[in-house]
Structure 1
């Protein structure tokens, strides 16, 4: 007699099997979608980082290019026209050196390297009460194609130059050349604050309401609200920008009674351009 017993298993209907397969398929679809979403977010983040790095590089290059051109114009040959323009009474350095009432002003011009980077007829003087001359044509204008650094019309750079404010840490008579009369212009050295602000106007309007960011000061210590500075205003308006600060010492070196010109060449001796 056999001890084996037979059991009858319940039958599984085809419809219930199809439901289980559907659930598994849906789970796989959900996993695939999640993986896709994560991949898209990661690629978007990488793209933003790459774009941000490209923007920062472009802005820094635009601002630094202005510094290099200014430095070369002053240290270059005194026979060059650009040298006379920079150091003349209406130029960005000569204005402060030859005008005793200019200590609290800012000299403003738009950097245009595609032609002659500095146009002496397109400048503005910014004072605490506003522009005092220049008819506002020294400020960069996004609507002007020639105000952009390159023909791509991507970035533009505005230069703000002012005298470095006096400080208690400054050595007494450090701005005078030894062996020269203190009343002589050629014996004095002048310290300048140069702020170059590079922006990408295509990203947003370069203003807040009726306030034009280009017309704001570059001196943060003269305002109570950072939005009243050119860099702070651009940031508040959502315009990508970079401000590079440089301190320049402009002096007429002396060797006893013979003065050496600011730059090189056979140009001016012991004096600055008179106009």
Structure 2
């Protein structure tokens, strides 16, 4: 007699059920991979924007600072230098204010063009209080449509310079407008304090082709407007034009003549004769 035993075998799941579980796992992995890719792309885009922003800021600062350095070198150079003469003449940005007291509230504007003579006395704009400008002086604004108005041949950045007299302030040093070593009764002994604003922009990054040109016609004298949006910096910010403005205060004064005499005990013994030389 044969004994029959019942053997228990594991249940086998249907193939369709197994395929569904694998599909769900694969989809989860795909979702995780996609999320990782999106995060990586987003981080890369942010890093790229930060790098681009840093490059733009560096370029703008260099463009504005280049204008300030050229102005400093010209005004500190020799009195026979052509650029010194142009800057301090009656038609120049400094001489305009020093030659006539009635010009104290004006604003002298010119476009910085370092590829040639960075300042041209015939290409300047002089704005007067209350709006408007001196007749025949409306070509000092930088123009994004003119290649020569850019700092370099890359036509990337341009810099516009504004020069004006520093407004009175009770915190300023007493007698700061007199040259040390000269009599205060002399007109030549007066010193002048100037506000120099150099605004560098990137017109190609502007949302509108005319936005930068319109903003360049605004003032840099913050004390002359009620709304800061009416200034160059405020207008550029509203128009979305990348810009940087560097402010510098310049003290321009005449060098007084000093008298150098012979040291005590040195000379020919004649008390009536002065052994002195004038030093400029």
Larger Rg: 2
**Cα RMSD after superposing both structures:** 2.2
Instruction: Provide structure 2 residue ranges, at least 5 long, that are not aligned to the other structure.
Output: 261-278
Moved over 4 A (4+): 206-209
Q: Quick one: distance in 1 between partners of 2:154 and 2:194?
A: 32
Cα–Cα, structure 1 residues 244 and 178, in superposed 2: closer, same or farther, change >3 Å?
closer
What is the deviation of 1:179? Answer: 5.0
**Is the contact made by 2:126 and 2:137 (CA closer than 8 Å) also made in structure 1?**
no
Any idea what the Cα deviations from partners look like across 1:209-265, whole Å, max 9, x if unmatched? 9x811111101222121110001101110000000000000011213479xxxxxxx
Shift in Å, 1:102: 1.0
Corresponding residue for 1:161? 163
Q: Residue in 2 aligned with 1:123?
A: 124
The match for 1:33 is: 34
Q: CA, structure 1 residues 179+50, in 2 after alignment: closer, same or farther (shift >3 Å)?
A: closer
TM-score normalized with structure 2 length? 0.86
Comparing 233-242 with 181-190, which one deviates more in the overlay? 181-190
Where 2:138 maps in the other structure, the secondary structure is: coil
- Structure 1 unaligned blocks of 5 or more: 259-268, 271-275
Find the partner of 1:133 among 132, 135, 146.
135
> Structure 1 residues 212, 252: CA separation in 2 closer, same or farther (over 3 Å shift)?
same
**Which residue does 1:171 correspond to in 2?**
173
Could you say what secondary structure the match of 1:158 adopts?
strand
State the distance in 1 between where 2:83 and 2:105 align. Answer: 25
Matches within 5 A, 1:1-275: 6-128=7-129, 129-204=131-206, 205=208, 212-256=214-258
Q: CA–CA distance in 1 between the matches of 2:259 and 2:64?
A: 39
Relative to 1, partners in 2 of residues 1:195 and 1:134: Cα closer, same or farther, differing over 3 Å?
farther
Looking at structure 1, the residues matched to 112 and 7 of structure 2 have their Cα atoms a distance apart, in angstroms, of 97
| 1:147 Cα deviation after fit | 0.2
3-state SS of the aligned residue for 1:7? coil
How far has the Cα of 1:192 moved from its partner?
A: 0.3
What residue in structure 2 maps to residue 264 of structure 1?
A: none
TM-score normalized with structure 1 length: 0.87
Distance 2:55 2:12 in 1: 67
Cα distance in 2, alignment partners of residues 59 and 29 from structure 1 = 45
Bigger relative contact order, structure 1 or 2 (CA pairs below 8 A, ≥6 apart):
1
Distance 2:211 2:114 in 1: 28
The alignment of Structure 1 onto Structure 2 pairs a total of residues equal to 257
What residue in structure 2 maps to residue 273 of structure 1?
Answer: none
